[in-house]
Amino acid sequence: MNRVLAIAFKDLRSTWRNVPALAMMLAAPLALSALLGFAFGGGNGGFSIAATKVALVNLDKAPAASATATPGATVAPAAAQPAVGQTVVGILKSKGLKDILTVTSKATAAAARKSVDDGKDAVAVIIPADLSKAIFGTSTSARSSIELYQNPTQTVGAAITQSVVGQSLLAFNGARAAALATQGLALASGNGAQAGALTQKAAQTFVDQSQSGSGGLTVTQRPPDLAGGKKSKDIGVTGLVLAGMMVFFMFFGASNVARTILDEERAGTLPRLFTTPTSRQLILGGKFTSTFLTVLVQAVILVAAGRLFFSIHWGALTAVSLLILAAAAVAASLGLMVISLVRTPAQAGAIGAGVYLVLALLGGNFSGTAQSGTTYATVQRLTPNGWLLVGWNSTLRGGGVGDILLPLLVPLAFAVVFFAIAVLRFRRRFA
């Protein structure tokens, strides 16, 4: 055991004196995580986009109250109908949409269009003067439409606004269809005097519900559930990105340490070491230990830096510690296996970089999340780093050790296989 630690300590001193290697191991993942995190919203609020600026013009007027009666019959006058346009305004300015729509009222349609042309607003919503008349009227041929005038470069904001307005119109069209159906039934039963009043009442009921909130739009967002149906907390993108970058750069950190095997082989010190009473297993154990401890310290520093600089709440200490240990074991064993397959440092750099990049692309290290769907989710779970990201995603959302058992066991199985391949390869090379 002392010999293993002596070999590991020698390699550790050499590694931590290598300033360029330390920069890649520590500074690079932090810098990339900060840039990507800030680009996609940063902080602990998850992905975010700027609120879309909307110029709103409401030209709609409430229709006058009316009464319909047959000769000799008395029908109570219908109550004055509210303006449907005001309901649309209420939806666009509702609390549920305030984070994604910033609505400014304009006096005229021309003013709203000019605001979009000048780049002050992304889209103009122009509610026509005859919208309420079309909704409350008894004519089956009545038509009205809300105009959306948009800046062609503001595709995302325009799409959001169009979706909100479109959903409102679908609801109003449904109410209109129900009202006309009521009118048809009244006419079919011979109650023509009541048809108009029933139509207006059906439409007004819907509008009243919309104004009170029971018939309007509701925008909600719920964070995904953990295993077992437990609700998870919402998290920021920076933590997910840093987790992916940390695992990715642990691969390169392990490769730098494991590459000392090639350096010592070329210098002739490793063959001489094999002539000593120290067994090959102990020598490789020392190399594995030095690689493991290097990336372990690397991960601890990155986790601490993420907490200090980005206020990332990584999750339960036990779960985080186990994930760090599993990631270090995978990185160390993978680094040894790659080095066992090559002969020169140049080959180690080229082949190792290719292997690590492919694993990162397949495992989702660059996307910063393991919550992909369909085929890609399956592909991610064919890699050890993909499983590690599943575990990090769970702990960041409040999961405990019980939620990450599989994301721990699968990478450890990969580590055992990688280390076994490395031992067999080195045994044949230095037989």
Per-residue pLDDT of the chain (431 residues; tens, 9 = 90+): 566 566 666 666 666 666 666 666 667 677 766 665 555 554 444 445 567 889 999 998 876 655 444 444 444 444 455 577 888 888 888 887 877 888 999 999 999 999 888 888 888 999 888 877 776 665 656 677 788 888 776 667 777 787 777 776 666 666 556 555 555 555 555 555 555 555 555 555 544 544 443 333 333 333 444 545 555 555 566 777 888 888 998 898 888 877 777 877 777 776 676 666 666 677 777 778 888 888 898 899 889 888 888 888 898 999 999 999 999 999 999 998 998 888 888 888 888 889 999 998 888 887 654 444 456 778 888 999 999 999 998 898 888 899 899 999 999 999 999 999 988 888 787 66
Q: What are phi and psi of 101, to 5 degrees?
A: -130, 125
Asked if residue 411 belongs to a domain, the reply is yes
What pLDDT shows up at residue 407?
93
d(CA 143, CA 199): 16
Task: Name the region of 48 (left: φ>0; alpha: ψ -120 to 50; beta: rest).
Answer: beta
What six digits make up the tokens of 333?
Answer: 């064993």
Same domain flag for 295 and 420: yes
Q: How far apart are CA 11 and CA 276, in angstroms?
A: 18
Does 13 reside within a domain? yes
Tell me, yes or no, whether 39 and 62 share the same domain: no
* Coil, helix or strand at residue 101: strand
192 & 153 share domain: yes
Q: Residue 90: inside a domain, yes or no?
A: yes
Residue 33, both tokens: 């995580």
Q: How many residues does the chain have?
A: 431
Clarify whether residues 72 and 19 are in a common domain.
no
Q: What letter would DSSP give residue 14?
A: H
**Residue ranges with strand state E in 161-277:** none
Sign of CA dihedral 27, 241, 416, 321: positive
Say if 221 falls within a structural domain: no
Whether residue 142 sits in one domain with residue 269: no
Q: Which helix (H) or strand (E) holds 125?
A: strand 123-127
Do both 172 and 250 map to the same domain? no
Q: What is the pLDDT of residue 111?
A: 92
181: its two tokens: 């159906």
Q: Identify the H or E element spanning 127.
A: strand 123-127
- Please tell me the predicted confidence (pLDDT) of residue 128: 87
**225 domain-assigned:** no
The verdict on residue 227 lying in a domain is no
CA separation for the pair 31, 23 (Å, rounded) = 10
Give the bridge partners for 125, in sequence order: 56, 148
**pLDDT score of 399:** 86
Q: Are residues 37 and 115 in the same domain?
A: no
**Closest to 170 in 3D by CA, of 249, 91, 262, 254:** 91
Which pTM value belongs to this model?
0.56
Q: Is 295 among the domain residues?
A: yes
pLDDT at 98: 79
Token representation of residue 359: 């694993």
| Residue appearing with tokens 């020169």 | 344
pLDDT of residue 326: 95
Q: What is the pLDDT of residue 209?
A: 45
Residue 122 structural domain = 52-212
The answer on 67 and 40 residing in a single domain is no
Judge whether 259 and 339 are in contact, CB under 8 Å. Answer: yes
390 and 241, same structural domain? yes
Number of domains in the chain: 2
